[in-house]
Amino acid sequence: MAPHSARASVAERVEELLAAGGPLPIVTAGQPVLRRGGEPYEGQLSPALLARFVEALRVTMHAAPGVGLAAPQVGIPLRIAVVEDPAPVPEEVALVRGRVPQPFRVLVNPSYEPVGDARAAFFEGCLSVPGWQAVVARHAEVRLRGEDEHGRALDEVVGGWPARIVQHETDHLDGTLYLDRAELRSLSTNEAVAALWAQPAPEAAAEALGFTLP
């Protein structure tokens, strides 16, 4: 368990964040908190404060908008993340990317491991690296373990786009940004992706920009 002083410190920082109301400020690349990872959640927040923090993460994720948000992205070094994906994309895109709607959920102390050797590569962005996207090859299927916000165990296999979200958000809790795993020759502004690389898969981008796909 964390020392009392550390527990109080994290709780106080969360209280200060929430005091302002509304969406929380999102920390961007270059801030050390994004590279330190998160401490295991061991009750540093009271149940009521945890519930308020989770709700603030949800509001912030929706406002951004994004499909996931990790606590370090708002400056809180705890292994907590939220995910939700209404998957508002054309059917062809959804089929190729395995993108299916995901209800709102909370991941506490999550970890993942690959299931099989298959990998999938698609453009990916991050709220902490605004304005840019790059192609990232990730495990096509992973086993997710952890807990929800009520302490109930999570142990399930996820695939497709939900697996990508789980990997992206859990990586944040390990101090890893998507750019660490990206094919940097694919790095593109959001405008370039919309204008040139809106296809369901990145084969055209790989050929034009000179990078390989798995």
Which residues are known catalytic residues? 169
CA end-to-end distance (rounded Å), the chain? 42
Q: Is 172 within any annotated ligand binding site? A: yes
122 Cβ neighbours under 8 A, 6+ residues apart? 97, 135, 136, 164, 201, 202
Q: Is 126 within any annotated ligand binding site? A: yes
Q: Which two tokens stand for residue 158?
A: 């996820």
Identity of residue 161: W
Q: Which two tokens stand for residue 20?
A: 């302002």
Q: Is 62 within any annotated ligand binding site? A: no
Q: Where are the beta strands (DSSP E) in the chain?
A: 68-70, 80-85, 102-114, 119-125, 132-139, 141-147, 153-159, 182-189
Is residue 110 left, alpha or beta, with left meaning phi > 0 and alpha meaning psi from -120 to 50?
beta
Q: Please state the residue numbers annotated as binding site.
A: 126, 168, 172
Q: Please state the residue numbers annotated as binding site for Fe cation.
A: 126, 168, 172
